[in-house]
Structure 1
Amino acid sequence: MTKRTSSKHKLDRRMGENIWGRPKSPVNKREYGPGQHGQRRKSKLSDFGIQLKAKQKLKGYYGDVTEKQFRATYAEAVRMKGDTSQNLIGLLEQRLDMVVYRAKFVPTIFAARQIVNHGHVMVNGRRCNIASARVKPGDVIELGQKAKDMALVIEAQSLSERETPEYVAVDGTKATYVRVPTLDEVPYAVKMEPNLVVEFYSR
Structure 2
Amino acid sequence: MTKRLESKYKINRRLGVNLWGRAKSPIGKRAYGPGQHGQRRKQKPTDFGIQLMAKQKLKGYYGNIGEKQFRKYYEEAVRRKGDTSETLIELLERRLDTVIYRLKFAVTPFAARQFVNHGHITINGKRLNIPSYLVKDNDLIEVKEKSKQLTAVLDASQSGERDVPEYLEVDHRAMRGRFIRAPKLADVPYPVQMEPNLVVEFYSR
TM over 0.5: yes
- Normalization by structure 1: what TM-score? 0.96
- Normalization by structure 2: what TM-score? 0.95
Match of 2:119 in 1: 119
The yes-or-no answer on 1:40 pairing with 2:40 is: yes
Identify the range of structure 1 (37-46 vs 129-138) with the bigger mean alpha-carbon deviation.
37-46
Which of 179, 182, 197 does residue 180 from structure 1 map onto? 182
What is the CA distance between 1:3 and its match in structure 2? 7.2
Give 5+ residue unaligned stretches, structure 1: none
The letter of the residue matching 2:185 is L
Which of 184, 192, 195 does residue 194 from structure 2 map onto? 192
**CA offsets per residue over residues 112-160 of structure 1, 9 Å max, x none?**
0001011110000000000000101100000012221111101101111
Q: Distance in 1 between matches of 2:181 and 2:27?
A: 33
**CA offsets per residue over residues 2-25 of structure 1, 9 Å max, x none?**
972761110000000000001010
Q: Distance in 2 between matches of 1:127 and 1:99?
A: 15
Q: Distance in 1 between matches of 2:164 and 2:41?
A: 36
The letter of the residue matching 1:187 is P
**CA offsets per residue over residues 138-195 of structure 1, 9 Å max, x none?**
0000001222111110110111111100011001200000001000000001000000
Q: Distance in 1 between matches of 2:106 and 2:27?
A: 22
The yes-or-no answer on 1:135 pairing with 2:173 is: no
* Aligned residue runs from structure 1 range 141-180, under 5 A: 141-172=141-172, 173-180=175-182
CA contact (8 A) 2:5 2:110 kept: no
What is the CA distance between 1:35 and its match in structure 2? 2.1
CA contact (8 A) 1:33 1:41 kept: no
Identify the range of structure 1 (107-116 vs 146-155) with the bigger mean alpha-carbon deviation.
146-155
Match of 1:17 in 2: 17
Identify the range of structure 1 (146-155 vs 96-105) with the bigger mean alpha-carbon deviation.
146-155
Identify the range of structure 1 (27-36 vs 151-160) with the bigger mean alpha-carbon deviation.
27-36
Q: 1:5 to 1:116 in 2, by over 3 A?
A: closer
Match of 2:60 in 1: 60
Report the 3-state secondary structure (helix = DSSP H, G, I; strand = E; otherwise coil) of the residue aligned with 1:191. coil
Identify the range of structure 1 (27-36 vs 170-179) with the bigger mean alpha-carbon deviation.
27-36
What is the CA distance between 1:32 and its match in structure 2? 1.2
Equivalent residues, number? 202
RMSD between superposed Cα atoms in Å? 1.3
Q: 1:102 to 1:88 in 2, by over 3 A?
A: same
The percentage of aligned residue pairs carrying the same residue is: 62
The letter of the residue matching 1:84 is T
Match of 1:202 in 2: 204
